[in-house]
Chain A
Amino acid sequence: MLKIEGLHVRVDGKAILKGLDLELPAGEVAAIMGPNGSGKSTLSYVLAGREGYEVTGGRVLYDGQDLLAMEPEERAAAGVFLAFQYPVEIPGVSNVYFMKAAVNAVRKARGESELDAIQFMRFAREKAKLVKLDDALLKRSVNEGFSGGEKKRNEIFQMAALEPRLAILDETDSGLDIDALRVVSEGVNALRSPERSMLLITHYQRLLDYIVPDRIHVLVDGRIARSGDRTLALELEAEGYAAFGAPA
């Protein structure tokens, strides 16, 4: 479903990803773990199509398509979703209005009929239940005045509403207390399906206690240093990233 081959990326002229290879089969949940500065966030932004990331080599195939040639909104319509590490505030635009616009834009691009206000509200309430997001938060301006936990729950709500085929979760655990982490993780787990692949990008292994990945990749200095199963995370926990070649 997702195939990254020899990906080289520069940011402000500095090489960040240096020949990254990765394969993510349909339905697989993979964790990308790595120390600060290893290129984790760069990877998620490049996959989502953010400007300012210069691809100098390699390619990314998404269902056999050249992902890097697509605009961000085309990727979204094709089923790529990024849960932001720092969700953005949009003052004056209600959460539910924003998501209605987004869902309908994606549905339209997919040749599906658009949902009207009443249909969407029913749909949104259903999805919001997953992460215990109440009506008040649906009606507030997008992320404005949300607590850290509310923002992350909102990201997962949006993921549920957009029903992506590839979800990239960028440091979804950062800034969450245990209770919030549990709610968010339960939401993510409920969205696991054989058609949906996920990339969990995280610094810590804590998240993986709640969302158990099928596979773990350790990202060090812009390349996958090692891949393995669940036990790799424990090894990391015991030995630290230095054992994988990261500068201590």
Chain B
Amino acid sequence: MSTEAIDQLLEKRYEAGFVTDIETEFAPPGLNEDIIRFISAKKGEPSWLLDWRLGAYRHWLRMKEPRWAKVSYGPIDYQASSYYAAPKTKPAPASLDEVDPKLLETYAKLGIPLAEQAILAGVAVDAVFDSVSVATTFKSKLAEAGVIFCPISEAVREHPALVQKYLGSVVPTTDNFFATLNSAVFTDGSFVYVPKGVRCPMELSTYFRINAQNTGQFERTLIIADEGAYVSYLEGCTAPKRDENQLHAAVVELVAHAGAEIKYSTVQNWYPGDENGVGGIYNFVTKRGLCEGERSKISWTQVETGSAITWKYPSCVLKGDHSVGEFYSVALTNHRQQADTGTKMVHIGKNTRSTIVSKGISAGRGQQTYRGGVSVAKSAAGARNYTQCDSLLIGGECGAHTIPYVEVKNRTARVEHEATTSRIDEDQLFYCRQRGLSEEDAVNLIVNGFCKSVLKELPMEFAVEAQKLLGVSLEGAVG
């Protein structure tokens, strides 16, 4: 593949780049205790939660922004952003009809017509628009099964005991700089509780969207699967095009009790910035699941094609004996995107098992690092881990790096790590083209093949979307 050809394919337009014109209510820019009180009051929160936020904020003031990841960016001015932006429409609409049509139009442009998707795909969508959830569907069907699926701000009001018990139980307020910031200022997100023995009757799905200018998005998601319960949760993200960088620091906490299983899938295409690295989302996310009970299972699957900078390590703490953690990841960096991503598997219980499959694709001047930690505590007799970490390079100016950390304190544990780095080679491209495929289709085919073992872990409708997304993200990578 010639250099110009690659340059051409790397020229791609960000298809979700538009701004919805809706009056937005902002908090004044800046971050201090008054702002946190403002957010808490806006949400009508109980005092324990305000105290929780303030505690996190005071701790955050003493923390330093981490700079150990292999990504480079200028200083972030935390005082320049507004920490609260809500569309000025009626809050909490009872049905889709009450939702501002402009919001729904926005979703339609993203290819997720809410009503249609809800009806056709049988997916319950808790759509988060900036900071306020604007629509919730299929609630009644879920309620029948006893499943709670609602905005976390609503859960704070309706199910305070559950929220108070679990919020911060997996990612404590003191965990890390970005998670602590999130704890102080989080505005909304999703809450899921699946009671004992219940198999959630549908895939739960949330589309997050950052819309207003100069606002960070700090969503907070909490999912609890009680004993023997099962839930599959899909998260998709898109952000419109902006010249300035936007901060996104989310926290996701999962708790799986004995025999429970949580499957968490993400397709992330936040705005990646343009080909010169101008604009784009800074995605600093803390995602962690606790396999609390025996034989519980947590599975993370992610397809990451967006963001200017990604800093993300969905992890599993395998506390229950015989519990299982999985991490399947496809990350694509094009143009000047940088990603430092991977996972952490913490084996504590006996006979705990973890599987890590990471596929990294770098094109343009993209830089990508897989950073993975596997630790086996003294108590984790018979623990097993298998890690496979593959990198695919497209063109000569990108980079791929693999940094595995392994710490084993029990002699009966078995930890395996395999890693490969390859390039889309001319032989493969020519073979495909000789069979009649265009160069672009050939690259897509090869990339999709490379990612197959991860894509097959996604729920069907997401897998199709992810494949398309990979194609769109690679447009301009050859020509």
Does A233 count as interface, using CB distance less than 8 angstroms? no
- Taking the nearest CB of chain B, how far is it from the CB of A116, in angstroms? 16
Stretch among B41-49, B106-114, B321-329, B427-435 lining the A interface: B427-435
Does A139 count as interface, using CB distance less than 8 angstroms? no
Given A71, A87, A90, A106, which contacts B446 in the complex, CB threshold below 8 Å? Answer: A90
CB distance B438 to A92 under 8 Å?
Answer: no
A75 to B430, CA, bound (A): 12
1/0 contact string of A99-127 vs chain B (CB within 8 Å):
10111011001000000000000000000
1/0 contact string of A2-32 vs chain B (CB within 8 Å):
0000000000000000000000000000000
1/0 contact string of A28-71 vs chain B (CB within 8 Å):
00000000000000000000111100000000000000000001
Given B426, B438, B448, which contacts A105 in the complex, CB threshold below 8 Å? Answer: B438
Does A91 count as interface, using CB distance less than 8 angstroms? yes
How many Cβ-Cβ contacts under 8 Å join chain A to chain B?
77
Most A CB contacts (10 A, CB to CB) among B426, B431, B434, B449 go to B434
CB distance B435 to A88 under 8 Å?
Answer: no
CB distance A73 to B438 under 8 Å?
Answer: yes
Total interface residues on B, using CB and 8 Å? 23
Known interface pairs A90-B449, A92-B452, A98-B445. Does A105 touch B436 (Cβ–Cβ under 8 Å)? yes
Chain A residues, Cβ within 8 Å of B446? 90, 93
- Taking the nearest CB of chain A, how far is it from the CB of B332, in angstroms? 15
1/0 contact string of B441-461 vs chain A (CB within 8 Å):
100011011111100000000
Q: Which B residue's beta carbon lies closest to that of A87?
A: B431
Given A51, A92, A105, which contacts B437 in the complex, CB threshold below 8 Å? Answer: A105
Given A84, A89, A93, A109, which contacts B436 in the complex, CB threshold below 8 Å? Answer: A109
CB distance B436 to A50 under 8 Å?
Answer: no
Does B140 count as interface, using CB distance less than 8 angstroms? no
CB distance A90 to B428 under 8 Å?
Answer: yes
Q: Which A residue's beta carbon lies closest to that of B444?
A: A101
A92 to B453, CA, bound (A): 8
CB distance A51 to B435 under 8 Å?
Answer: no
CB distance A51 to B450 under 8 Å?
Answer: no
A93 to B432, CA, bound (A): 11
Known interface pairs A90-B446, A93-B446. Does A48 touch B436 (Cβ–Cβ under 8 Å)? no
Q: Which B residue's beta carbon lies closest to that of A71?
A: B433
Does B2 count as interface, using CB distance less than 8 angstroms? yes
17 sampled A-B residue pairs with Cβ under 8 A: A49-B433, A51-B2, A72-B434, A73-B437, A77-B436, A81-B434, A88-B427, A88-B430, A90-B428, A92-B449, A92-B450, A93-B446, A93-B448, A98-B435, A101-B445, A105-B436, A141-B449
Closest 10 CB pairs of A and B: A92-B449, A93-B449, A92-B452, A76-B436, A102-B435, A72-B433, A106-B436, A88-B431, A105-B436, A73-B433
